[in-house]
């Protein structure tokens, strides 16, 4: 495949997605370049989470095209493993493996999926745990960690696969307010290091700070998008204005 | 040791309580090998019934309609018919259809002996319950946990082996425990096709000695202890599998 990083890393074109009779995405298009951080915001039920779940094929789409580094996701012969090596994901409910320690959670996928050497993986995993500021918690089980700590383990678990892009699906929505910041800080570190990030979030202050581009979705379409300063200060569409007035 | 055995002969002479499997070396051997046969039959059937449960529950979630139907048909057939009828069916109906093999003495013997048929029949009987037990555990594993593994690139088989089964096991151990206890007790049915297990040997002994009461009391106590050991082991296993901070 002849993808190079002058082309969008993720290219979404006219994507339609329905659950039964309910059309959730009604023709969404957006591009994400390598190293870019984009935030998708919008009211509940506007299709934000569905959209990013389509990028790593957790949801299939009915119409349109999603290219990840030139690989078409909307393809019945899609090699999901190849796709998921490139695209990491962090979930709202962390979804750690409860029967594995923090360290084992991080080590599992590289050993099982990438068949990497266990000792090498352990070294990388310990470094990642340090990176998300959880040194000393390696041997704790998820049930023994706070929500914020679990979410940081989940981020480390995703990073262990060395993805090219990471999807963050409302990763702070289930957290206690006092632990939100530790998770946001971790994501900001990644953004600063040049990791390509696609975030669905309700943290407007954070979106404004880290995002290169903001997309506002409502009822299955992208209503408005732009760089954060433009978007937050000069929103043009009435729906965007109304949404922003309610939450800012 | 001889003095110990002789004591029971004196006991018989003095009180009429007849325990020949203690003072008579021939009966002692019969009882001992009967006990070994019961243990062997139990262990082999436990093993195969659990394997059947694991594979059956996996096939039950197969994307192929006919695979699912086959498994459900198997469960219905073996759960809704008496195990003694199943045993007779295998031994007399299926067994008589199989070709005979030549023996060393120039005669003919069935392809599969009564022990093999008891193992097949009892394993499939207990296995049908195990499939349903495993399925209930698998359904208790949150879909979001499985999704996290999918997003990391785990294959369906890897997810089943590394995530779903270990978590399901912890949920189902009490139910599995029950079914395996039932299986050990059901091995007495092998008596009906003359597998020389404990009850069969006890019958031989009481036929020779006319001491039904003593033998029956002895059987009750022995099975109570034998199953007690299994239950004790399963309880310990259940405790060992407990995850800190999970499911409390």
pLDDT tens column, B108-125? 888 888 999 999 999 999
B→A contacts (Cβ < 8 Å), by residue, are 142, 144-145, 147-155, 158, 162-163, 166-167, 170, 243-246, 248
Per residue in A35-44, pLDDT (tens digit) is 999 999 998 8
Contact assessment for residue A227 and residue A213, using Cβ atoms and an 8 Å cutoff: yes
Q: Is A170 among the domain residues?
A: yes
Say which CATH number the domain at A113 has: 3.40.50.300
3-state DSSP assignment of residue A14: strand
How far is it, in rounded angstroms, from Cα A212 to Cα A198?
Answer: 10
Q: Which one of B137, B145, B151 would you mutate to disrupt binding with A, by most A Cβ within 10 Å of its Cβ?
A: B151
How far is it, in rounded angstroms, from Cα A160 to Cα B5?
Answer: 67
Q: Spell out the domains of chain B, with CATH numbers in brackets.
A: 2-240 (1.10.3720.10)
Interface touch A141/B246, C-beta < 8 Å: yes
Q: Is A25 among the domain residues?
A: yes
**A116: distance to nearest CA of chain B, Å?**
14
String of b and e for A28-56 (b: at least 16 CB within 10 Å)?
bebebbbebbbbbbbbeebbbbbbbbbbb
Which residues does chain B have within 8 Å of residue A87's beta carbon, measured at their own beta carbons? 151
Q: Is A14 among the domain residues?
A: yes
**A54: distance to nearest CA of chain B, Å?**
11
Specify the pTM: 0.84
Least confident of A49-58, A110-119, B108-117, B187-196: B108-117
Q: Which one of B137, B148, B162, B238 would you mutate to disrupt binding with A, by most A Cβ within 10 Å of its Cβ?
A: B148
**Encoding tokens for residue A234?**
């000069």
Q: Is A80 among the domain residues?
A: yes
What is the reported pLDDT for B247? 65
Phi then psi for residue B176, to 5 deg, are: -65, -45
How far is it, in rounded angstroms, from Cα B222 to Cα B38?
Answer: 11
Using CB atoms, pick whichever of A87, A98, A108 lies closest to residue B243.
Answer: A98
- Mean pLDDT of the A46-53 span: 92
Rg (CA), chain A: 18
Contact assessment for residue A95 and residue A121, using Cβ atoms and an 8 Å cutoff: no
Q: Is A69 among the domain residues?
A: yes
**B59: distance to nearest CA of chain A, Å?**
22
- Mean pLDDT of the B115-140 span: 96
How far is it, in rounded angstroms, from Cα A133 to Cα A127?
Answer: 10
Q: Is A232 among the domain residues?
A: yes
Q: Is A200 among the domain residues?
A: yes
**Encoding tokens for residue A98?**
């409860």
Q: Which domain holds residue A50?
A: 10-247
Q: What is the DSSP letter of B93?
A: I
The total number of structural domains that make up chain A: 1
Interface touch B153/A58, C-beta < 8 Å: no
Confidence band, pLDDT 50/70/90 cuts, at residue A1: low
Rg (CA), chain B: 23
How far is it, in rounded angstroms, from Cα A191 to Cα A206?
Answer: 12
Contact assessment for residue B214 and residue B18, using Cβ atoms and an 8 Å cutoff: yes
Confidence band, pLDDT 50/70/90 cuts, at residue A33: very high
As for the ipTM of the complex, it is 0.90
How far is it, in rounded angstroms, from Cα A41 to Cα A223?
Answer: 11
Which residue is closest to A114 within chain B, CA to CA?
B153
């Amino acid at each position: 495949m002849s993808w190079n990083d002058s082309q969008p890393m993720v290219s979404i074109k006219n994507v339609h997605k329905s659950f039964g009779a309910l059309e959730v995405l009604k023709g969404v298009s957006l591009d994400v370049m390598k190293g870019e951080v984009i935030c998708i915001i919008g009211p509940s039920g506007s299709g934000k989470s569905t959209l990013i779940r389509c990028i790593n094929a957790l949801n299939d789409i009915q119409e349109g095209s999603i290219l990840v580094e030139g690989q078409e996701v909307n393809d019945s012969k899609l090699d999901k493993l190849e796709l998921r090596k490139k695209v990491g994901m962090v979930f709202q409910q962390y979804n750690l493996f409860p029967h594995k320690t923090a360290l084992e959670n991080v080590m599992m996928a590289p050993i099982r999926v990438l068949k990497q050497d266990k000792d090498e993986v352990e070294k990388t995993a310990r470094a990642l745990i340090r990176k998300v500021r959880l040194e000393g918690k390696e041997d704790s089980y998820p049930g023994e960690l706070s929500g914020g700590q679990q979410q940081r383990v989940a981020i480390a678990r995703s990073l262990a696969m060395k993805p090219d892009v990471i999807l963050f699906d409302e990763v702070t929505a289930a957290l206690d307010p006092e632990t939100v910041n530790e998770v946001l800080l971790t994501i900001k570190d990644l953004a600063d290091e040049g990791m390509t990030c696609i975030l669905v979030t309700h943290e407007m202050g954070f979106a404004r700070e880290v995002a290169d581009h903001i997309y506002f979705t409502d009822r299955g379409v992208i209503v408005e998008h732009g760089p954060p300063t433009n978007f937050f200060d000069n929103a043009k569409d009435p729906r965007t204005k109304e949404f922003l007035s309610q939450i800012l | 040791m001889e003095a110990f055995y002789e004591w029971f002969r004196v006991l018989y002479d003095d009180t009429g309580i007849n325990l020949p499997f203690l003072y008579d070396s021939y009966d002692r051997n019969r009882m001992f090998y009967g006990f070994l046969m019961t243990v062997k039959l139990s262990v082999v059937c436990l093993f195969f019934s659990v394997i059947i449960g694991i594979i059956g529950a996996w096939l039950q979630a197969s994307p192929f309609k006919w695979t699912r139907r086959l498994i459900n048909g198997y469960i219905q057939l073996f759960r809704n018919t008496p195990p003694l009828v199943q045993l007779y069916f295998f031994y007399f109906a299926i067994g008589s259809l199989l070709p005979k093999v030549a023996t060393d003495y120039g005669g003919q013997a069935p392809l599969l002996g009564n022990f093999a048929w008891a193992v097949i029949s009892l394993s499939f009987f207990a296995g049908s319950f195990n499939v349903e037990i495993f399925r209930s555990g698998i359904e208790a594993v949150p879909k979001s946990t499985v999704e996290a593994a999918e997003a990391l690139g785990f294959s369906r088989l890897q997810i089943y082996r590394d995530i779903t089964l270990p978590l399901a096991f912890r949920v189902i151990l009490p139910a599995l425990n029950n079914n395996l206890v039932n299986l050990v007790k059901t091995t007495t049915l092998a008596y009906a096709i003359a597998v020389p297990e404990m009850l069969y040997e006890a019958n031989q002994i009481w036929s020779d000695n006319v001491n039904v009461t003593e033998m029956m009391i002895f059987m009750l106590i022995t099975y109570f202890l034998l199953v007690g050991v299994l239950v004790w082991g399963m309880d310990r296993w259940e405790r060992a599998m407990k995850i800190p901070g999970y499911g409390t």
